[in-house]
Structure 1
Amino acid sequence: MTTPDIRRHTRDSLYLMAQCQHLGSGQSARIRVRNLSPEGLMAEGDMRVFHGDAVAVDLRNIGVVTGVVAWVQGNRFGLALGTTIDPQLARQPVTGVDTRDYYQRGPVGVLERPQEIDPRRARLI
């Protein structure tokens, strides 16, 4: 029996490289974002994460967004974002405008654990 899909937003399939940082250990790795919605994403890569971990992902044309790992399956994981984004921005060509001002970010290269992450948003599979 499969778990019903209870997402509020449709997911936009894409193939986008991004930098991901584990906010607990500081581990950082390049990941592939496979789909993106206003409140979450699915990624794959060699980043070792567990259900409930807080991570930050630097998305093209969006900037750094933070969230909680909702599920892990092999080298793929789902991330419930701590803020709502416009996923169409990631599909647009890179511009000279830095959109990261709209998202919480510490000094360049230093990401802080945000207060808005709620582990209860993560779902078990």
Structure 2
Amino acid sequence: MTGVETRSVARDSLFLLADIRIEQGAEVHRVRVRNLSDGGMMGEGPLRVQRGHRVAVELRHIGSVGGTVAWVQDNRFGVAFDEEIDSQKARRPLQTSDDPTSALIVPSRAHRAPPPPHPSQLRKI
């Protein structure tokens, strides 16, 4: 494979958790979603899947999405969804109340750099 990007679908790197079930199986596995687009996802976890397996993925704010495992490499795998989703919905923060303003993200100031010193406090070397 070359270093040229051949994919035409935009996708974002992120860290979400999702529940996945292999079709015909009853066991539900918790996996990490590393990339998510409207047409598919990359998952990671101790799940034994093979290319071609049918799966159902439970994504927050979206629900259950059917798909097919497109590739597997080590503990990572790609799923092509049967139908496109609105992947932006899965990125929305969890709401704890019915008030839509509770989902607003307040920027944290806890990790800001301190302000620069006043020039009178500097000494020349």
Residue aligning to 2:61: 61
- Structure 2 distance, partners of 1:27, 1:4, is 39
The structure having more radius of gyration, on CA atoms, is: 2
In the alignment of these two chains, the number of paired residues is 97
Q: Note the residue ranges of structure 1 that are not aligned, 5 or more in a row.
A: 98-125
Instruction: Please show how residues 1-125 of structure 1 align to structure 2 within 5 Å.
Output: 1-2=1-2, 5-95=5-95
When normalised by structure 1's length, the TM-score is: 0.70
Q: Deviation of residue 6 (structure 1)?
A: 4.1
The farther-off stretch of 5-14 and 60-69 is 5-14
Q: Does the Cα contact within 8 Å between 1:24 and 1:53 map onto a contact in 2?
A: no
Confirm or deny: 8 A CA contact 1:61 1:90 kept in the other structure: yes
Amino acid in structure 2 at the alignment position of 1:57: V
Which deviates further from its counterpart, 2-11 or 28-37? Answer: 2-11
Q: Residue 2 of structure 1: CA displacement?
A: 4.1
- d(CA) in 2 for partners of 1:24 and 1:53? 10
Q: 1:5, 1:48 → 2: CA distance? A: 28
Residues 43-80 of structure 1, C-alpha deviation per residue, up to 9 Å, x if partnerless? Answer: 00011000000001100111110100000000000000
Residue 8 of structure 1: how far off its partner (Å): 3.1
- Distance between the aligned counterparts of 2:58 and 2:48, measured in 1? 17
DSSP-derived class of the 2:78 partner:
strand
Q: Distance in 2 between matches of 1:56 and 1:44?
A: 15
